[in-house]
Amino acid sequence: MPLLSLEHISSYYGEARALADVSLEVEDGEIVAVIGSNGAGKTTMLRTISGLMHPRSGRIYFQGEAIERTRPHQLIRRGIAHIPEGRRLFAQMTVRENLLMGAYGAQSWKERGQLIDEVCALFPRLRERIGQLAGTLSGGERQMLATARALMARPRLLMLDEPSLGLAPKIVETILAIIRDVNRRGVAVLLVEQNAQLALKTAARAYLLESGAVVKSGLTAEFLADESVRRSYLGI
């Protein structure tokens, strides 16, 4: 049984259809990429999974349970962490407070303290800036904080929406390395990226979205040296 599965999901913004009959699976411990040009529906898909919007039809299963009508604040407890497009950090809170929010569902302040220690071991830069306001961090540090915040929730599935956006290539490499590391510890990853090359380098399997529909899916090796991705992004 896959960890996450979408079955024939269709989502709308008013009358405009943003997702058309999308089906997708993520197995335990996998890294799956979803690529597609701007406006393809990638962000809508993640927002539908994490409950920020409800699909008009179709079902979503996480660990066997249907979650398409579940409210977002309940999903993090079940193990789905969503790092939204643009990071959406709490800019007027400190690094420490942002991390605490990641562990909002934890049982005790002691546990939250332990989690902060664990997560700062992965991101030493954050330890240095622990008292700083999140809004004053650099782009790379912000992505690190957003990732760390998600990890504070001990997710089983980590969903990232365009982590490379606005970041220098070197920093993107660091973030991806950390994601690979986290994945090796058993966290499945759903990586949504406009940057196809980056996504295909990192994931084992991929889906190509175009105008809200899945037009290609399979192992990443099948995507490389295939005209279909270029054609999808550039039209011909």
Partner 1 sequence: MDRRPLLTIDGVQKNFGGLVVLDGVSFEAYSDETLCLIGPNGAGKTTLFNIIAGALPPSAGCIRLDGHDITRLKPHVRCRMGIARTFQIPQPFAALSVLENVEVALEFGRRGGRGSDVVQARALLERARLTRWMHALAAELPLGARKRLELVRALATEPRVILLDEVMGGLSPEEVDEVAAIVHGLKAENVGVIFVEHVLRAVMSIADRIIVLHGGRLIADAAPAEVSRDPAVIEAYLGGALDAAAQP
Partner 2 sequence: MLTQLLLAQIVNGIVVGSMYALFASGLTLIWGTMKMLNFAHGEFFMLAGYLVYFCYAVLGINPALSTVIAVVAVFLLGVVVERTVIHHLLSRPVWQFTTIIATLGTSIILQNLALHVWGPEFQNVPYFVEGMLNVFGIRIAYQRLLILGVSCASIVALWFFLKHTRLGLALRATAQDSDAAQLYGVNILSIYTFTFGLSAALAALAAAMLAPITAVNPYMGLSPLLKGFVVVILGGLGSFGGAIVGGVLLGVVESLGVLFSSTEWSDVIAFTFLVLVIWVRPWGLFGVEERS
Q: Which residues bind partner 2 (CB under 8 A)?
A: 50-52, 71-73, 75-77, 81-82, 84, 88-93, 97, 100-102, 104-105, 149, 153
Of residues 31 and 159, the one with the C-beta less far from partner 1: 31
Q: Please list the alpha-helical segments (H only) found in 16-138.
A: 42-49, 72-78, 95-102, 109-122, 124-128
Which of partner 2, partner 1, none does residue 229 bind (CB under 5 to 8 Å by kind)? Answer: partner 1
Give the nearest distance from C-beta 75 to partner 1 in angstroms: 27
- Options 211, 213, 216, 217; binder of partner 1; rule CB under 8 A: 211
Which of partner 2, partner 1, none does residue 89 bind (CB under 5 to 8 Å by kind)? Answer: partner 2
DSSP state for residue 30 in the 8-state scheme? -
Of residues 88 and 230, the one with the C-beta less far from partner 2: 88
Give the position of tokens 């079940």. 78
Give the nearest distance from C-beta 226 to partner 2 in angstroms: 34
Report d(CA 62, CA 39) in Å as an integer: 26
Put the strands of the sheet holding 65-66 in their side by side order.
Answer: 16-26, 4-13, 57-62, 65-66
Report d(CA 118, CA 236) in Å as an integer: 48
Report d(CA 95, CA 146) in Å as an integer: 10
Cα dihedral 195/198/199/204 (nearest 10): 160
- Which positions ≥6 away from 166 have C-beta within 8 Å? 139
Which of partner 1, partner 2, none does residue 128 bind (CB under 5 to 8 Å by kind)? Answer: none
Residue 170 interacts with partner 1 (CB under 8 A): yes or no: no
Give the nearest distance from C-beta 188 to partner 2 in angstroms: 17
50 to 89, contacts with partner 1 by CB under 8 A?
none
Question: Exposed, middle or buried, 7 (CB in 10 Å: 0-12/13-18/19+)?
Answer: middle
Give the nearest distance from C-beta 160 to partner 2 in angstroms: 12
- Options 1, 15, 92, 108; binder of partner 1; rule CB under 8 A: 15
Residue 223 interacts with partner 1 (CB under 8 A): yes or no: yes
Give the nearest distance from C-beta 192 to partner 1 in angstroms: 13
Return the HEC string of 126-176. Answer: HHHCCCCEHHHCCHHHHHHHHHHHHHCCCCCEEEEECCCCCCCHHHHHHHH
Give the nearest distance from C-beta 172 to partner 1 in angstroms: 10
- Options 11, 48, 147, 194; binder of partner 1; rule CB under 8 A: 194
Residues forming contacts to partner 1 in the complex (CB under 8 A) are: 15-17, 37-39, 164-166, 193-198, 200-202, 210-211, 221, 223-226, 229-230, 232-236
